């Protein structure tokens, strides 16, 4: 067991400097990354807009002065009885 721990520690000590090196030859962000981020931003905007409209409608209805008395949704439309 001690041999396994010592061997693992030796391997980690030998490998960690290579893992820690950031690599200055890494390429920058490409066009594909910017297209993906732009597409994700469009999805967020197109989902946010209807949510904002629904929220504004809800606030407007909550603070309206005269509540509407409509029972058509519960009893159905009257047939002139």
Residue-by-residue DSSP string for 7-53: HHHHHHHHHHHHHH---TT-----HHHHHHHHHHHHHHHHHHHHHHH
pTM of structure: 0.40
Whether residue 7 is contained in a domain is answered as: no
Whether residue 36 is contained in a domain is answered as: yes
Count Cβ neighbours within 10 Å for each residue of 46-78 and write b for 16 or more, e otherwise.
eeeeeeeeeeeeeeeeeeeeeeeeeeeeeeeee
Domain with 57, as residue range(s), is 32-63
Please give the chain's pLDDT, 81 residues, in tens.
Answer: 888 788 877 766 776 676 565 655 556 778 899 999 999 999 999 999 999 999 999 999 998 876 666 665 666 666 655
The pLDDT of residue 34 is 92
Whether residue 71 is contained in a domain is answered as: no
Whether residue 25 is contained in a domain is answered as: no
Whether residue 38 is contained in a domain is answered as: yes
The pLDDT of residue 50 is 92
Number of independent structural domains in the chain: 1
Nearest to 11 by CA among 80, 19, 61: 19
């Amino acid at each position: 067991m001690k041999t396994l721990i010592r061997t693992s520690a030796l391997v980690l000590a030998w490998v960690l400097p290579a893992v820690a090196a950031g690599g200055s030859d890494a390429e920058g962000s490409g066009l594909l990354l910017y297209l993906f981020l732009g597409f994700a931003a469009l999805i967020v905007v197109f989902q946010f807009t209807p949510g904002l409209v629904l929220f504004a409608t809800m606030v407007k209805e909550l603070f309206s002065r005269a509540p509407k008395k409509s029972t058509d949704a519960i009893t159905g439309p009257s047939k002139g009885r």
